[in-house]
A and B are shown apart, each in its own frame.
Chain A
Amino acid sequence: MDSISITGAKIFFEIPIFGGIPITETQVNSWIVMLAITILCLVLTHDLKVRPTSKRQIIAEWIVEKVTGLVSGNMGERFTYYAPFICAILGLSAFSSLSSLLGMYPPTADLNTIAGWAILIFCMITYTKIKTSGFLGYLKGYTEPFALFTPFNILSELGTPVSMAFRHFGNIVSGVVISTLVYAALASASTLLFGWLPGILGKIPFLQVGIPAVLSVYFDLFSSCMQAFIFSMLTMLYIANAASADE
Chain B
Amino acid sequence: MELANAKAIIMAGCAIGAGLSLIAGIGPGIGEGYAVGKACEAIGRQPECKSSVTSTMIMGCAIAETTGIYGFVMGLLLMLLAPNLFIGKL
CB-contacts of A162-194 with B (<8 A):
163, 166-167, 169-171, 173-174, 177
Q: What distance in Å separates the Cβ of B41 from its nearest Cβ neighbour in chain A?
A: 23
Report the interface size class on chain B: 10 to 19
Q: How many angstroms from the CA of A169 to the CA of B69 in the assembled complex?
A: 9
A166 with B58, Cβ < 8 A, contacts A177-B76, A230-B63 known: no
Q: What distance in Å separates the Cβ of A115 from its nearest Cβ neighbour in chain B?
A: 12
Q: How many angstroms from the CA of A148 to the CA of B30 in the assembled complex?
A: 34
Q: Verify if B65 is at the interface (C-beta below 8 Å from A).
A: yes
Question: Is A167 touching B66 in the complex (CB atoms < 8 A)?
Answer: yes
Q: How many angstroms from the CA of A177 to the CA of B58 in the assembled complex?
A: 23
* B62: A residues at CB distance < 8 A: 171, 226-227, 230
Q: What distance in Å separates the Cβ of A136 from its nearest Cβ neighbour in chain B?
A: 33
Q: What distance in Å separates the Cβ of B52 from its nearest Cβ neighbour in chain A?
A: 12
Question: Is B59 touching A170 in the complex (CB atoms < 8 A)?
Answer: no
Question: Is B63 touching A166 in the complex (CB atoms < 8 A)?
Answer: no
Q: Verify if A233 is at the interface (C-beta below 8 Å from B).
A: yes
Main secondary structure of the interface of A (DSSP, over half): helix
Main secondary structure of the interface of B (DSSP, over half): helix
Q: Verify if B70 is at the interface (C-beta below 8 Å from A).
A: yes
A173 with B76, Cβ < 8 A, contacts A166-B69, A167-B69 known: yes
* B63: A residues at CB distance < 8 A: 167, 230
Q: How many angstroms from the CA of A170 to the CA of B75 in the assembled complex?
A: 11
Question: Is B76 touching A166 in the complex (CB atoms < 8 A)?
Answer: no
Q: Mark A218-247, 1 if CB is under 8 A from B, else 0.
A: 000000001101100100000000000000
Question: Is A169 touching B73 in the complex (CB atoms < 8 A)?
Answer: yes
Residue of A170, A226, A230 near B73 (CB, 8 A) is A170
Q: Mark B51-90, 1 if CB is under 8 A from A, else 0.
A: 0000000110011011001101100100010000000000
Question: Is B58 touching A170 in the complex (CB atoms < 8 A)?
Answer: no
Question: Is B66 touching A174 in the complex (CB atoms < 8 A)?
Answer: no
The chain A residue sitting closest to B70, CB to CB, is: A166
Q: How many angstroms from the CA of A171 to the CA of B65 in the assembled complex?
A: 9
Q: What distance in Å separates the Cβ of B42 from its nearest Cβ neighbour in chain A?
A: 20
* A230: B residues at CB distance < 8 A: 59, 62-63
A163 with B66, Cβ < 8 A, contacts A226-B58, A230-B59, A233-B59 known: yes
* B66: A residues at CB distance < 8 A: 163, 166-167
* A227: B residues at CB distance < 8 A: 62
Nearest 10 Cβ contacts at the A-B interface: A170-B69, A170-B73, A167-B66, A230-B62, A170-B72, A226-B62, A174-B72, A166-B73, A167-B69, A166-B70
Which residues of B are interface residues toward A (Cβ below 8 A)?
58-59, 62-63, 65-66, 69-70, 72-73, 76, 80
- Given contact pairs A166-B66, A167-B66, enumerate 16 new A-B contacts (beta carbons under 8 Å): A6-B80, A163-B66, A166-B70, A167-B65, A167-B69, A170-B70, A170-B72, A170-B73, A171-B65, A171-B69, A173-B76, A174-B72, A177-B76, A229-B59, A230-B59, A230-B62
